[in-house]
C-alpha cells in the first residue's frame, strides 16, 4: 500500500479557490488512534469560517493543512488486537478540533473513543455528514437544556445542519418544539417533529409565540435581525438561552444580566464522543433521527459546498464523497 493519499490541501487562508487537491502523507496512528479509510465527509460552517481565516484558523499551525472534521468510513488499522473497532468495521466519527490532518482526505487517524458503528440505515454520505451537527444538537438539547416531556423549546434555524437534528432530538425526548425557518422549509420542520413553525421573514417570532418558552437554542445570534437579543423576550423567568455560533453575540451575558430577570445563559462547545454517536446511530436505525442531505458532491467540488454554506440557506447537510 502506498504511503501517500489524495486530500484537500490548503496552503493559505482565503476564498474557496484555496481548496486545492493533491497528495499528502497518510496519517500514522499513535496510542488509541484508529486509521479509517474515509468514504464520505460532511461540510460545516466552521470549515468555511476557518478556510477564510476566521473560525479556528488561529490553531492551524502549518500548511498545507487538510480541513474537515467529520467522516464515515471503513477501519483500515486498529491500535491493538482487541480494540473496539477492527479492520473492516464500518464507522462514523469526528475529530477533535483543531487538528492538522482532517477528513477531506482518503484516510484519517482518530482516537477510537471518537468513533461509533455507522448506522445501518444511513448511506455513507448521510453518516459522514452527521457527527458534528448531531453532537452539537445533542450538547444543546440533551446536555445543556436537559430536554424532557412538556419542556417548551424554541429552536432558531431549525432547518439547518444543527437545527434539523435538534428539532428531531427535542421532539423525540418529548419537548414541545417551536422552530424558525423561511417559508420553503416550514413543511420540512413539521415533518421533523416541530409542533409550531414560524417563518422568520414574515413574522416576528416574539409576536408569534404567545406562551413563554423554557429554552431557546439560538443558532443565529445577533448576526441576523438581532435574533439573540430578541429571544430573551420569549423566555419564561428561570428560562435558559443557549447561543451556539461562537462570536455571533458576544454581549449575551451582559444583556441577560441587564434584564434583571432570573434567566440563564450559556454558550456551547461540542465534544467528539463516540458513546453519544452510538446513541445517535441507534436513534437513526430505529427511525427516530435522520440526516437530510441538501447535496452530495465529489471531494473535488468541495468549493461548491463552501459557497452553498456561506450563502446561509442549506437545508440539513452537505456531504462530499471520497474514494
Ligand X SMILES: NC(=O)c1ccc[n+]([C@@H]2O[C@H](COP(=O)([O-])OP(=O)(O)OC[C@H]3O[C@@H](n4cnc5c(N)ncnc54)[C@H](OP(=O)(O)O)[C@@H]3O)[C@@H](O)[C@H]2O)c1
Q: Convert residues 12-51 into a mask of x (bound to ligand X by CB under 6 A) and - (unbound).
A: --------------------------------xxx-----
Q: Which of 127, 192, 220, 284 binds ligand X (CB under 6 A)?
A: 220
Distance CA(154)–CA(200), nearest Å, equals 12
Among residue numbers 51 through 90, which ones bind ligand X (CB under 6 A)?
none
Residue nearest to ligand X (CB): 160
Give the residue with the Cβ less far from ligand X, 56 or 113.
56
Q: Which stretch binds ligand X (CB under 6 A): 87-95, 106-114, 146-154, 313-321?
A: 313-321
> Residue 116 interacts with ligand X (CB under 6 A)?
no
> Residue 245 interacts with ligand X (CB under 6 A)?
yes
The set of cell numbers assigned to 224 is 441576523
> Residue 270 interacts with ligand X (CB under 6 A)?
yes
Distance CA(191)–CA(203), nearest Å, equals 21
> Residue 101 interacts with ligand X (CB under 6 A)?
no
The set of cell numbers assigned to 111 is 482516537
Give the residue with the Cβ less far from ligand X, 213 or 309.
309
Contact (Cβ atoms closer than 8 angstroms) between residue 69 and residue 98: no
CB atoms within 10 A of CB 184: 11
> Residue 246 interacts with ligand X (CB under 6 A)?
yes
5 φ, ψ (degrees, to nearest 5): -140, 160
Among residue numbers 182 through 211, which ones bind ligand X (CB under 6 A)?
182, 185, 200
Distance CA(20)–CA(244), nearest Å, equals 30
Q: Convert residues 140-159 into a mask of x (bound to ligand X by CB under 6 A) and - (unbound).
A: ----------------xx-x
Q: How far is the CB of 223 from ligand X (least distance, A)?
A: 8
> Residue 309 interacts with ligand X (CB under 6 A)?
yes
Q: Which of 94, 306, 315, 319 binds ligand X (CB under 6 A)?
A: 315
Cα 26 from chain centroid?
A: 26
Q: Which of 111, 163, 228, 239 binds ligand X (CB under 6 A)?
A: 163
> Residue 313 interacts with ligand X (CB under 6 A)?
yes
User: Which stretches of the chain are DSSP H helices?
Assistant: 45-51, 124-128, 131-138, 161-172, 186-192, 205-208, 227-231, 252-258, 274-285, 302-311
- In DSSP notation, 158-219 reads TTSHHHHHHHHHHHHTT-EEEEEE-GGGHHHHHHHT-SEEEETTTS-HHHH--S-EEEEEES
Distance CA(257)–CA(320), nearest Å, equals 43
Return the sign of the alpha-carbon dihedral for residues 125, 132, 32, 85. Answer: negative
Q: How far is the CB of 109 from ligand X (least distance, A)?
A: 22
> Residue 272 interacts with ligand X (CB under 6 A)?
no
Give the residue with the Cβ less far from ligand X, 31 or 202.
202
> Residue 227 interacts with ligand X (CB under 6 A)?
yes
> Residue 160 interacts with ligand X (CB under 6 A)?
yes
> Residue 133 interacts with ligand X (CB under 6 A)?
yes
Give the residue with the Cβ less far from ligand X, 192 or 281.
192
| Exposed / middle / buried, residue 85 (Cβ in 10 Å: 0-12, 13-18, 19+) | buried
Distance CA(217)–CA(158), nearest Å, equals 9
Query: What does the binding site for ligand X look like in residue numbers (CB under 6 A)?
Result: 44-46, 133, 136, 156-157, 159-163, 180-182, 185, 200, 219-220, 224-225, 227, 244-246, 268-270, 309, 312-315
Amino acid at each position: 500500500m502506498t504511503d501517500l493519499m489524495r486530500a484537500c490541501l490548503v496552503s493559505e487562508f482565503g476564498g474557496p479557490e484555496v481548496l486545492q487537491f493533491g497528495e499528502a502523507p497518510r496519517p500514522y496512528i499513535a496510542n488509541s488512534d484508529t486509521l479509517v479509510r474515509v468514504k464520505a465527509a460532511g461540510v460545516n460552517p466552521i470549515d468555511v469560517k476557518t478556510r477564510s481565516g476566521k473560525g479556528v484558523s488561529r490553531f492551524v499551525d502549518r500548511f498545507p493543512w487538510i480541513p474537515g472534521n467529520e467522516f464515515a468510513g471503513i477501519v483500515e488499522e486498529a491500535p491493538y488486537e482487541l480494540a473496539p473497532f477492527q479492520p473492516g468495521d464500518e464507522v462514523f466519527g469526528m475529530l477533535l478540533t483543531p487538528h492538522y490532518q482532517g477528513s477531506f482526505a482518503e484516510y484519517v487517524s482518530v482516537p477510537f473513543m471518537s468513533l461509533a458503528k455507522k448506522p445501518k440505515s444511513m448511506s455513507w454520505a448521510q453518516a459522514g455528514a452527521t457527527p458534528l451537527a448531531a453532537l452539537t444538537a445533542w450538547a444543546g438539547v440533551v446536555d445543556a437544556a436537559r430536554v424532557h416531556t412538556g419542556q417548551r423549546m424554541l429552536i432558531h434555524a431549525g432547518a439547518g445542519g444543527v437545527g434539523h437534528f435538534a428539532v428531531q432530538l427535542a421532539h423525540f425526548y418529548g419537548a414541545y418544539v417551536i422552530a424558525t425557518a423561511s417559508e420553503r422549509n416550514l413543511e420540512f420542520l413539521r415533518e421533523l417533529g416541530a409542533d409550531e413553525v414560524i417563518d422568520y421573514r414574515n413574522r416576528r417570532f416574539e409576536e408569534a409565540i404567545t406562551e413563554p418558552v423554557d429554552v431557546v437554542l439560538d443558532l443565529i445570534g445577533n448576526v441576523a435581525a438581532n435574533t439573540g437579543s430578541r429571544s430573551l423576550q420569549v423566555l419564561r423567568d428561570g428560562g435558559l438561552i443557549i447561543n451556539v455560533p461562537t462570536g455571533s453575540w458576544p454581549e449575551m451575558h451582559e444583556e441577560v444580566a441587564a434584564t434583571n430577570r432570573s434567566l440563564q445563559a450559556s454558550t456551547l462547545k461540542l465534544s467528539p464522543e463516540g458513546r453519544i454517536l452510538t446513541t445517535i446511530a441507534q436513534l437513526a436505525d430505529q427511525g427516530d433521527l435522520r440526516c437530510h442531505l441538501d447535496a452530495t458532491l465529489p471531494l473535488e467540488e468541495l468549493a461548491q459546498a463552501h459557497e452553498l454554506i456561506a450563502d446561509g440557506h442549506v437545508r440539513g447537510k452537505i456531504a462530499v464523497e471520497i474514494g
